[in-house]
A = this chain, B = another copy of it.
Amino acid sequence: METLEAIKMRASLKMRISTRQVEPEKIVEILDAARLAPSARNFQPWRFIVLNDRERIKTLIKGAFSEGNLVFSEAPVLIVACANPSDDVVRDGKEYYLHDVGMAVENMLLAATELGLVTHPATGLNEKGESELKRILGIPDEVRFVVATPVAYPAEGSYEEAAQERLSERTRKDLKELVYLNAWGKPF
């Protein structure tokens, strides 16, 4: 799939997850894509925990995620992205580990799309918050949870078929609401 096509076809599809196993080599391809993202001063702050054990995935999702994400329990693989903020730059109070992990995560989502796999980046945890997720996964205190995504085959049909309905309902702001020319507020 061409890059621009993958960017257009990527959608968050937690309602389309199949329980079917995903080949480990595809997971490696997805992680390798993440690894190749740029980062401030090439610090590469991202760390990933791959869960491929169904009981462990269920324990984590039920123990730490918000109700809207309980459907992730069905996924054969869950990837949790996290980082130590001190592994990246902080400029004017902005913690760039969040930005750099975001770039790596987008690479993962696009690689999965190209491989015909569905994803759904989620940041919403339950009322126990990040501490419970970190307790279950043994993540050190200084490391922050950033985002998690299931990686799965679509429940029915191809990726394109699985994404069609959601893409048809997609709501995105127009470029004219998002882009200025040469100065803030000037129409593009």
A interface, CB within 8 angstroms of B: 1-4, 6-8, 10, 12, 28-29, 31-38, 40, 42, 44, 46-53, 56, 89, 91-92, 94-96, 98-107, 109-111, 113-114, 121, 123-125, 129-130, 137-140, 143-144, 146-147, 171-173, 175, 178-185, 188
Cα(A183)–Cα(B182), bound, Å: 47
Q: A106 — which chain B residues lie within 8 A by C-beta?
A: 37, 102-104, 106-107
Please tell me if the beta carbons of A175 and B35 are within 8 angstroms of each other in the complex. yes
Chain B residues with CB below 8 A from A47, complex form: 178-180, 184
> Which of B3, B98, B109, B184 meets A38, CB within 8 Å?
B109
Q: A4's contact among B98, B114, B183, by CB below 8 Å, is which?
A: B114
Closest Cβ of chain B: how far from A187's Cβ, in Å?
Answer: 11
Interface of A is mostly: mixed
Contacts of A100 in B (CB 8 A): 102
Given contacts A102-B99, A181-B52, A183-B49, contact A175 B28 (CB under 8 A): yes
Cα separation A30 to B91 with both chains bound (whole Å): 26
Whole-angstrom distance between the alpha carbons of A7 and B106 in the complex?
10
Given A98-B96, A101-B99, A110-B110: A178 and B3 interface contact (C-beta under 8 Å)? no
> Which residues of chain B have C-beta atoms less than 8 A from A32's C-beta?
175
- Which residue of B94, B95, B138, B180 is within 8 Å of A49 (Cβ)? B180
Closest to A7 in B: B33
Tell me, in angstroms, the Cα distance from A165 to B175 when the chains sit together.
35
* CB <8 Å contact, B3 and A173: no
Tell me which residues across on chain B come within 8 A of A172, comparing CB atoms.
35-36, 44
A47 to B143, CA, bound (A): 29
A28 contacts across to B, CB distance below 8 A: 175
CA–CA, A53 to B182, complex, Å?
7
